[in-house]
């Protein structure tokens, strides 16, 4: 991010507690246009909760999240209606964002390789097709900030390649992307930085230099051991 550019997302001292359990602790981060931040952490480290906090779906117990511009999100759950067709799902969500988003539906179905299945109900889709449609849904508003929680779950190699192409295009379009994932090998080369989440704490955000997933995991273990 250039120094004068306005960050797409700023989180300041964000914490979230569920009952007595603090799931996210004092997380601060900034992501600018064109940046791709990978969030890594063990199961239960708070990745999903942090993504939901950044998306505004959860209110922080402490701290604040400021998002400038349009937000798209892919979560664990597809946010799609099984009884509607792929096209109807996109048309419905598009209508929440405006006419331009509705008009983008067909283009996104095409881009995600789902155009031949546009009139099929989502209930009949495979896991991978649902995931691709969920990504198309997230891209409807033409976001300048995209949050993805395990975006490659259930995708075969070809579909993973499509998603990686989409992410590469988004970076070129100056879209800020935050990805919570375990699949470092597939995504590490797309990232500009990696955030290490240990027990709800973002212990470090470091630029990725050698694009090596193993090196990232080694670094994670070092940080987790020291935390």
Partner 1 sequence: MPSSFWTVAWAVAAKDLKIEWRTKTAFASSIVFAVLVLAVFYFARDPTAVAALDVAPGALWVTFTFAAMLGLNRAFLLERENRALDGILLAPVPRSAVFLGKLVGNLAFVAVVEFVSLPLFVLFYDLAIWRQLPTLIGVMAMATVAFVSVGTLLSSMVVRTRFAELMLPILLLPFLIPPVVGAVQLTSRVLAERPLSDLVGWLKLLASFDIIFVALCFFLFEATLEE
Contacts to partner 1 by CB under 8 A: 55-59, 70-73, 75, 77-84, 88, 92-93, 95-100, 121, 137, 141
Q: How far is the CB of 26 from partner 1 (least distance, A)?
A: 20
Distance in Å, CB of 73 to partner 1, minimum: 6
- Residue with Cβ nearer partner 1 (96 or 185): 96
Name which of 114, 116, 111, 190 is nearest 148 in CA terms.
190
Q: Given the complex with partner 1, which of 96 and 227 has the nearer CB atom?
A: 96
Nearer to partner 1, 100 or 218 (CB): 100
- DSSP for 56-119, please give it: TSS--SEEEEEE-S-EEEE-SS----TTSBHHHHHHHHHHHH-HHHHHHHHHHHHHTT-GGGTT
Q: Shortest approach of partner 1 to residue 174 CB, angstroms? A: 20
Q: Describe the strand order of the beta sheet including 21-31 as a list of residue ranges.
A: 62-67, 9-18, 21-31, 201-207, 193-198, 36-40, 176-180, 145-149, 71-74
- Output the smallest distance, CB 223 to partner 1, in A: 29
Chain center to CA of 58: 15
Nearer to partner 1, 27 or 75 (CB): 75
């Amino acid at each position: 991010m250039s120094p004068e550019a306005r960050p797409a997302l700023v989180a300041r001292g964000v914490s979230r507690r569920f009952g007595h359990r603090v799931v996210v602790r004092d997380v601060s981060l900034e992501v600018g246009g064109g940046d791709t931040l990978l969030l890594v952490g063990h199961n239960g480290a708070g990745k999903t909760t942090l993504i939901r906090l950044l998306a505004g779906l959860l209110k922080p117990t402490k701290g604040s999240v400021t998002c400038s511009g349009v937000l798209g999100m892919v979560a664990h759950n597809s946010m799609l209606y099984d009884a509607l067709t792929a096209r109807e799902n996109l048309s419905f969500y598009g209508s929440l964002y405006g006419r331009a988003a509705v008009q983008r539906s067909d283009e996104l179905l095409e881009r995600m390789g789902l155009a031949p299945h546009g009139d099929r109900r989502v209930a009949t889709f495979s896991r991978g097709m649902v995931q691709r449609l969920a990504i198309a849904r997230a891209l409807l508003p033409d976001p300048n900030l995209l949050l993805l929680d395990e975006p490659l779950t259930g995708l075969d190699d070809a579909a993973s390649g499509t998603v990686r192409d989409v992410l590469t295009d988004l970076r070129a379009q100056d879209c800020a992307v935050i990805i919570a994932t375990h699949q470092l090998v597939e995504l590490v080369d797309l990232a500009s930085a990696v955030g290490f989440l240990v027990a709800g704490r973002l212990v470090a955000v470091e630029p990725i230099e050698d694009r090596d997933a193993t090196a990232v995991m080694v670094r994670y273990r070092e940080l987790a051991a020291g935390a």
